[in-house]
Amino acid sequence: MVKSLLYGTASLFVFSCAACANPGPGDLGVKDGMLPSCPARPNCVSSQSVDVRYRIEPLRYTTSLHDAQEKLLTILRSMQRTTIIVREDDYIHATSASFLFRFVDDVEFYFYAEEKTIHVRSASRLGYYDFGVNRRRVDHIRNYFSTR
């Protein structure tokens, strides 16, 4: 019994570490004003999606682009297990790891200055279903962004 428990723990450790080390997808970023589309799995949300299953509202701002970006960066830095990977003039890429298994989600923000809109995409790197984690994350960010 102890032997099978140890093997199970070791397997769980290897599985969770493999999820941590999984490199990000190569198709991230803004291309022609668009974030990548969501894959055909219910573990992604995007403000640029035309499919209602993945659609989420973008963030909106009334300040300068710089102030909106600083505000968003402050929120992201305050979130546990969230790391800012890329920061550009009109784009932010962050990762967020789950508590237990450290599964990594990619969270992207595209600042469309002409409309004072921040398009957002949040997607799991692995798995099929995310139990609504990506949608709740974006809603949480939107809530803090609009109240601060």
Buried b (16+ CB within 10 A) or exposed e, 119-134: bbbbbbeeeeebeebb
The residue extents of the domains of the chain are 2-147
Whether the per-residue pLDDT at 11 is higher than 70: the answer is: no
Residue 86 is predicted with a pLDDT of 97
Residue 147 is predicted with a pLDDT of 87
Question: pLDDT tens-digit profile of 116-129?
Answer: 999 999 999 998 98
Mean pLDDT in residue range 59-84: 97
User: Is CATH 3.30.310.80 correct for 2-147?
Assistant: yes
- Quick one: which H or E segment has residue 23? none
pLDDT band with cut points at 50, 70 and 90 for residue 100:
confident
